[in-house]
Each structure stands twice: as structure tokens, then as C-alpha cells.
Amino acid sequence: MEFNHQKQRSAGLKEQFLAECNRLRKNMQIDFVGIALQQSDGLTITWPFVSGNTTKKYKHITVRYGKGIAGKVISTGADLALDSFPNGISGKPTEYPIMLAERLYSAYAIPINFKGMPKGALLAGMRSQIDWSKANINQMKQMTTEIEKLLPYYFQ
């Protein structure tokens, strides 16, 4: 009985994360929104929640702390903008698997904190050029506040 209760709670949590992604994608009128989270058992980062994906490759993407757009955002605790991928990146394009898998050209990512430490990244992406406005960035920051409220249930 307890297993079914945990399974239902997990499904409800996934729906909440996805609803946040869908809402942000719609409000910002962008192609892709993803949430990357560092796994509690190490330095591995995955993309458990995405909206606007064109493939299911995101399910198999795993990066290490400090690598890829999510790893860099988590390790630095700072926002990261990519305006014309793969131009202007540090490292090789293959180090940015979510950008390649979803054919994203422009992206903006901000850290998601858990217990005062960056443990995830919120990524907004476009398959074409976009100028990230302060209004867009503020919408993303507001969403991270909502996501951070869900993290204690995710990491339990």
C-alpha cells in the first residue's frame, strides 16, 4: 500500500514540475524549457523535466558537475546565456548535449538552489535567435522560486 502511495506522490510531483515548464514556455513564447537536477548520490546531472522537446534524447543525457550548460550553471551558481550556439562557447559543442539534442540556437540558464546551494538549472531555449529580455529573465527567476519549493519532495 505504501508503495502505491509513493508512486502516486511521485507522479503528482512530476506533473507539477512539467506544469511549471509548460507555463513558462507558453508565457515566454519559446521553444524549449528544461529542468536539470544534480543527483543526490553524486555529481551526475540529468534532465528529468522538459517541455517543447522534439526528441526523447534528453532522457539519456547525463553530464558531470561543471560540464555542459547545466553543469556550468550549477558549478558557478551564475546565469549563463548562449546567443548563437555553438559560437562563443567554452569547450566543444559535444559538451552541450541538450543543445545538440534539441537543436537549440539560443539558451538562457539560471541556477536552481536547494538548501542554499545550486543543485539544478532552469534552461529556456530557442531554435532561432532571441534576445533575452529582463522581463524573460525575471519570469525565469520567478519560476525557480516555485521549483525550489518542490525540491524537498524531489530529493527526499
Tens digit of pLDDT per residue, the chain (156 long)?
Answer: 444 444 445 678 999 999 999 999 999 999 999 999 999 878 899 999 999 999 999 999 999 999 999 999 999 999 999 999 999 888 899 999 999 999 999 999 999 999 999 999 999 999 999 999 999 999 999 999 999 999 999 988
Phi, psi of 110 (to 5 degrees): -130, 150
- Alpha-carbon Rg for the chain, nearest whole angstrom, is 15
- Angle formed at CA 26 by CA 102 and CA 144, multiple of 5 degrees: 80
What pLDDT does residue 155 have?
Answer: 86
What pLDDT does residue 1 have?
Answer: 40
What pLDDT does residue 88 have?
Answer: 84
Say if residues 45 and 96 touch (Cβ distance below 8 Å): no
Phi, psi of 8 (to 5 degrees): -65, -40
DSSP string, 65-90: TTSHHHHHHHHH-S-EEESBTTBT-S
Q: Cell 531555449 identifies what position?
A: 125
Cα maximum dimension of the chain: 53
Domain that holds residue 135: 2-154
Total domains present in the chain: 1
pTM: 0.91
What pLDDT does residue 10 have?
Answer: 64
Extended strands (E) in 20-154: 32-38, 44-51, 62-64, 80-82, 106-114, 117-126
CATH of the domain at 136: 3.30.450.40
